[in-house]
Amino acid sequence: MSDCRVWVLPGMGADSRIFKSFKFPWNATYLEWIEPDHSETLSEYADRLLNRYPIQENDLLFGYSFGGIVAQDWASRNKVQRVVLLNSLHHEARLRPLYKNLAATGVLNWAPKGSIFRLIKFITRLNSRPSRELDLLLETMEQFECQYYRWVLRAVLDWEHTTPLAPVDVILGELDPVFTLQKPSKDRFWILKGATHLSFTSHSNEISNLLKEKIDPVLL
């Protein structure tokens, strides 16, 4: 791993604090979200965010949840060695019908201020036991205004599911209420038994060992 860097993207609205109790097997650089421009696409946002960093072809992108979507989109135009997704949406997978149905109602346009964030918090809490880590995640997400979450949801719904130029490894929680369990046609795929969307808090040792034993050896 001495020849490559690992760049970590957190979940929607969160920051590096959510990984405080998680042990990566690598020295990782944690990236933080920036405010999106109201009219920009997911690809434009990904470029504006990641082009600020000296990410090289031999590096690895690690994306949790929304971070995995941004990582894949950027990696469809820029070469990296590998993309690793944790509880995220693989570019071949489809969103749950819930999101399509919400979009069809136009709720992202007319929902009162704060209601979108309350919906996101509700979904995040599904299947997750109350914990300090869950409270910390929700606390970090309060750093952004409601307009940010409207933009993120629209960006995900409009994402073109572009194919990255690098292999994509997928780690998903068995009980994740946010993204579906859909095995990719070619990329590697692991399921964390009994894990929810917050798998990095409940299955941290299992994930860390998986990264070290299955993914680390394939890196130069």
Q: What is the pLDDT of residues 77-125, one digit of tens each?
A: 999 999 999 999 999 998 877 776 666 666 566 566 666 667 666 666 6
Comparing C-alpha atoms, which of 56, 38, 50 is closest to residue 74?
A: 50
As a whole number of angstroms, the distance between CA 12 and CA 152 comes to 8
Task: Give the pLDDT of residue 89.
Answer: 95
Task: Give the pLDDT of residue 15.
Answer: 83
As a whole number of angstroms, the distance between CA 36 and CA 45 comes to 6
As for how many domains the chain has, the answer is 1
Contact 175, 156 (CB under 8 A): no
With respect to residue 1, please indicate whether it lies within any of the assigned structural domains: no
With respect to residue 102, please indicate whether it lies within any of the assigned structural domains: yes
Task: Give the pLDDT of residue 3.
Answer: 72
Q: Give the number of other Cβ atoms within 10 Å of residue 42's Cβ.
A: 23
Task: Give the pLDDT of residue 124.
Answer: 65
With respect to residue 127, please indicate whether it lies within any of the assigned structural domains: yes
Q: Residue 176 CA to chain centroid, in angstroms?
A: 13
* Parent domain of 98: 6-218
Task: Give the pLDDT of residue 213.
Answer: 93
Q: What is the pTM of this model?
A: 0.87
Q: Give the number of other Cβ atoms within 10 Å of residue 66's Cβ.
A: 23
As a whole number of angstroms, the distance between CA 86 and CA 118 comes to 23
Task: Give the pLDDT of residue 109.
Answer: 63
Task: Give the pLDDT of residue 114.
Answer: 64
Strand order in the sheet with 189-192: 28-30, 6-9, 60-64, 82-86, 168-173, 189-192
Domain of 52, CATH number, reads: 3.40.50.1820
With respect to residue 91, please indicate whether it lies within any of the assigned structural domains: yes
- Give the residues of the chain that fall short of pLDDT 50: none
As a whole number of angstroms, the distance between CA 107 and CA 178 comes to 18
